[in-house]
Amino acid sequence: MVVLRLLVRLVSFLLLIVLALIGLGVAVAAVDPAGVTGWIGLPALRDSVGGWFDDLEASGPVALASALGGGAAMLLGLVLLAGLLIPRRERLVRLDTTSHGTLSARRRPLAQVATHLVEQTRGVAQARVKVKPRRRSGGRLRVRAERPRPAPASETKAAITSQLEDLTGPFKLKASVQTRVGDRGSRVQ
Amino acid sequence: MRLARLALDAALDVDGVLAADAGPRGLVVTRDGTALLRGVLVAAEAGRRYSVDLGLRVRLVPLPALAEAVRARVARNARLGGVGDLLGAVTVTVQDVVDDDELAAAGLVAMPAPVSPEVA
């Protein structure tokens, strides 16, 4: 995202320069049209690119290159739009709203709390939690936990879900739990 | 500005709150000339009141109880400071959670308010 924003800034700056130069050209052309067309060599340009336009109409490498160029330009446009339109602010997870105010949290600390709770569950060796906020309030906790081979997945999932109730219960948080058998070296709580 | 200072001091007094945090982009701040309070943002809201946003780094504690304690302490401090009538909604944003192991590893204790000098 940072790269997209930098790209948008750079392209915006370059486009401003191009726009300024075009404006200057239009102003000069308004004062002396014949001089400008002669200076930039419009008649010669027409002769030189006329053949290229003929190639463009026919199927062949020039047409293919121009189609690829068009596609790339559209892609660049989409990238620039994404850089402009995707919101800059990190979306917070709104946990609780009352008439007295709101309790919200960044995703990382919330995931940290959830991970801490999950790793206290009996039979869980290691866990990773990702938090996805909902637009209005609450969010979704995606838990991936490692369990030892003998422990049934359903039991571990139930234990994790129960363990997370301290966090999901008071707020509009929904947990989805996935477990997998951990590596031999992983330590079990 | 007075309300911002009172609210920040109140929040930092609550057990479980380690420090104020202006957020990843440093937007939760209140500025008054050259002075800057980090971790609190006071904004006017309807009815001649001011909402208070607090960005906090907290210990691993139950968050609803913590938020309630912060709100109660802020309301109390505002009342004692004579600006209780101005206090609107208090938003608590948990910017970071530090568990006891991290605290011990860093040798951290509750930090004082990160305030620039001489704030009104």
- Structure confidence by residue, pLDDT tens digits, B65-102: 899 999 999 999 999 988 888 888 999 999 988 877 77
Q: Are residues A72 and A103 in the same domain?
A: no
CB atoms within 10 A of CB B31: 12
Phi-psi region of A99 (alpha: psi -120 to 50; beta: other; left: phi over 0): alpha
What's residue B76's pLDDT?
93
pLDDT band of residue A25 (cuts 50, 70, 90) is confident
Within this chain, do residues A32 and A56 fall inside the same structural domain, yes or no? yes
Spatial strand order of the sheet with A126-133 comes to A126-133, A139-147, A173-181
Looking at per-residue pLDDT, the higher value among B64 and B110 belongs to: B64
Q: Which amino acid is at B13?
A: D
Distance between A104 CA and the closest CA of chain B, angstroms: 5
List the domain range (segments joined by +) for residue A171: 93-181
Last residue of a domain, one of A85, A118, A153: A85
Closest residue, chain A, to B55 (C-alpha):
A105
Q: Are residues A80 and A97 in the same domain?
A: no
Q: How far apart are CA A188 and CA B81, in angstroms?
A: 52
CA distances from B63 to A174, B32, B35, B59 (A): 17, 31, 30, 9
Angle between helical axes of A33-40 and A42-57 (0-180°, round to 10): 60
Answer whether A140's CB lies under 8 Å from A134's CB.
yes
Overall average pLDDT of the A21-43 stretch: 82
Min Cα–Cα distance to chain B from A113, Å: 7
The C-alpha atoms of residue A184 and residue A181 are separated, in whole angstroms, by 9
Predicted ipTM beyond 0.95: no
For residue A46, the surrounding DSSP H or E stretch is helix A42-57
Of A44, A66, A85, the domain-final residue: A85
How far is residue A84 from each of residues A11, A79, A92, B59, B64, measured CA to CA in Å? 12, 9, 20, 37, 36
Judge if A8 and A61 occupy the same domain: yes
Residues in A touching B52 (Cβ below 8 Å): 101
CATH topology of domain B2-106: Alpha-Beta Plaits (3.30.70)
Q: Please report where in the chains the tokens 């199927």 appear, as a residue.
A: A59
Average pLDDT over residues A125-146: 86
For residue B92, which residues of chain A lie inside 8 Å, CB to CB?
Answer: 101-104
- Say if CB A154 and CB A167 are below 8 A apart: no
A97 and A80: one domain?
Answer: no
Is B92 close to A90, i.e. CB distance below 8 A? no
Last residue of a domain, one of A47, A63, A85: A85
pLDDT, mean of residues A5-9: 81
> Most A CBs within 10 Å: which of B25, B53, B93, B96, as the mutation test of the A interface?
B93
Query: Higher model confidence: residue A36 or residue B40?
Result: B40
For residue B91, which phi and psi values (nearest 5 degrees)? -100, 125
Determine contact: A66 vs chain B, CB below 8 A. no
pLDDT tens figures, A58-117: 777 778 888 888 899 999 888 888 877 776 667 888 888 888 888 888 888 888 888 888
Give the number of domains in chain A.
2
Residue A64 and residue A123 in one domain? no
Q: A177: closest CA among A146, A150, A148? A: A146
Of the candidate ranges A163-167, B26-30, B88-92, the one whose mean pLDDT is the lowest: A163-167
